[in-house]
Homo-oligomer: A and B are copies of this chain.
Amino acid sequence: MPVLKERADRVFHALGDPTRRAIVDRLSLGPMSVTRLAEPLEITVTAVVQHLQILEESGLVRTEKVGRVRTCHIESSGFSILDQWIREHRSMWERRFDRLGELLAEDEA
C-alpha cells in the first residue's frame, strides 16, 4: 500500500497538469518525436522536456533516443497504477457497504 500510494502520488501529480494530459492524449494516438510533440502545445521544447521527465517518472510515458531524435511513447504501467488506485478505493467503500448490509440483516433476524 505505501508503494502504491507513492506511485499513485506521482501519477496524479503528473496528470494534474493540463499540458501533461495533452501530451498523454497525443501519445495515445502514436509515438512521436519531442519536436513534433511540442508544435501544437505552443510551449518551448525545453518546457516539453521538463513535462516529459515528470511523465516518465510516473510511468505514463517512456522516451528513447536514436541518433539525435528522442521519440516518446505511451507506457502502460502508470495507467495500471491508476487502475489499482481506483480498485483499492472502491473495495474500501464496498467492504463498508457489505458490513452495513450484515448489520441490517442482523437487525432483521
Which A positions have Cβ atoms within 8 angstroms of B? Answer: 8-9, 12-13, 15-18, 21, 24-25, 28-30, 74, 76, 79, 82-83, 86, 89-90, 92-93, 96
Contacts and interface: CB of A to CB of B under 8 A. Distances in A.
Contact of A12 (B15, B30, B76, B90): B15
12 contacts: A8-B21, A12-B12, A12-B15, A12-B21, A16-B16, A28-B92, A29-B96, A30-B96, A79-B89, A79-B90, A82-B86, A86-B86
B83 A86 contact: yes
Contacts of A28: 89, 92-93
Contact of A17 (B16, B29, B76, B86): B16
Contacts of A24: 89
A77 to B, nearest CB: 12
Contacts of A29: 92-93, 96
Contacts of A79: 86, 89-90
